[in-house]
């Protein structure tokens, strides 16, 4: 049995939609194999992939793993005081997304074009939540890149991954890669496949037995995968 993990934004989801061709390819793959998501998004941000019966969910950059019924396989929480400190320190430099256990909404210090976000002005508004991930949202990719090393130097107990203009922060050692390894073991799969488009997908590529990215991806990512494609459906057709 093969297991295929896909990133969402810029990979399966484009302009808040999944193409019908990709949906059909996923359904064909799932007749004898498993297909799921591997994303930095929280569970509350799956509105644009509704109708796809995923077999598993790797959410919050690997901090939350769920089966098809959304029962927890693994979870890796951030300490509340640590999240508070990160929030308060970087609030002057970036907007901030906080990902909690909520299935209905996530928290953001600014405005974002998602129907499930709730704006917050102070960490104390969410202090009683469980925390999976905190993300720093900068104006540009270049600005985010300059802060990655600062995050690691200031907070050695976390791992931070740049995803375009965002830095996703999770517990130390957790990543999309640890997520796909756990999923492969959980399902006793013969082969793990992965596809993504950005730098935070590098751990996914390295942990997969066979990996894909896109012709439009940075050249540095293309060097890290086994194959380059134009769509998720093309990748699926190559392994069916």
The arrangement of strands across the sheet holding 72-75 comes to 72-75, 64-67, 56-59, 34-38, 2-6, 191-195, 210-214, 227-229
* CATH value at residue 89: 3.30.1240.10
Q: Give the mean pLDDT of 1-13.
A: 97
pLDDT tens per residue, range 167-216: 999 999 999 999 999 999 999 999 999 999 999 999 999 999 999 999 99
Give the three-state DSSP class for 150: helix
- The torsion angles phi and psi of 10, rounded to 5 degrees, stand at 80, 0
Kindly state whether residues 39 and 65 are assigned to the same domain: yes
Please give the helix or strand (H or E) that residue 117 lies within, else none.
Answer: strand 117-119
Give the three-state DSSP class for 68: coil
In this prediction, residue 144 carries a pLDDT of 96
Q: Give the mean pLDDT of 59-88.
A: 97
Domain boundary among 171, 202, 220: 171
CA-nearest of 163, 145, 142 to 40 is 163
Residue-number span of the structural domain to which 147 is assigned: 80-171
The band of 29, judged by pLDDT with boundaries at 50, 70 and 90, is very high
The arrangement of strands across the sheet holding 106-108 comes to 117-119, 106-108, 95-100, 131-137, 166-171, 158-163
In this prediction, residue 42 carries a pLDDT of 93
Kindly state whether residues 113 and 232 are assigned to the same domain: no
Output the average pLDDT for the chain: 96
DSSP letters of 192-217?
EEEE--SGGGHHHHHHSSEEEEETTS
In Å, how far from its chain's centre is CA 107?
A: 16
Q: Give the mean pLDDT of 31-48.
A: 95
Kindly state whether residues 94 and 48 are assigned to the same domain: no
Domain boundary among 171, 201, 223: 171
* CATH value at residue 194: 3.40.50.1000
pLDDT tens per residue, range 111-131: 888 788 899 999 999 999 999
pLDDT tens per residue, range 225-236: 999 999 999 999
pLDDT tens per residue, range 134-177: 999 999 999 999 999 999 999 999 999 998 899 999 999 999 99
Kindly state whether residues 71 and 100 are assigned to the same domain: no
């Amino acid at each position: 049995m093969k297991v295929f993990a896909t990133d969402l934004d810029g990979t399966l989801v484009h302009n808040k939609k999944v193409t019908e061709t990709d949906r059909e390819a996923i359904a064909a793959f799932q007749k004898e194999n498993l297909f799921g998501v591997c994303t930095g998004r929280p569970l509350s941000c799956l509105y644009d992939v509704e109708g796809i019966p995923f077999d598993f969910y790797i959410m919050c950059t690997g901090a939350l793993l769920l089966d098809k019924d959304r029962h927890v396989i693994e979870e890796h929480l951030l300490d509340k005081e640590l999240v508070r400190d990160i929030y308060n320190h970087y609030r002057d430099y970036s907007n901030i997304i906080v990902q909690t256990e909520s299935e209905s909404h996530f928290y953001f210090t600014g405005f974002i074009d998602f129907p499930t976000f709730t704006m917050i002005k102070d960490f104390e508004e969410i202090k009683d939540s469980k925390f999976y991930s905190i993300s720093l949202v900068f104006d540009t990719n270049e600005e985010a890149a300059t802060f990655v090393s600062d995050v690691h130097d200031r907070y050695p107990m976390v791992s931070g991954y740049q995803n375009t203009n965002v830095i996703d922060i999770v517990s130390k050692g957790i990543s999309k890669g640890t997520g796909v390894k756990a999923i492969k073991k959980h399902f006793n799969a013969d082969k793990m496949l992965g596809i993504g488009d950005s730098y935070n997908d590098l751990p996914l590529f390295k942990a997969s037995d066979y990996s894909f990215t896109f012709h439009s991806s940075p050249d540095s990512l293309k060097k890290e995968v086994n194959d380059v494609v134009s769509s998720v459906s093309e990748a699926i057709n190559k392994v069916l």
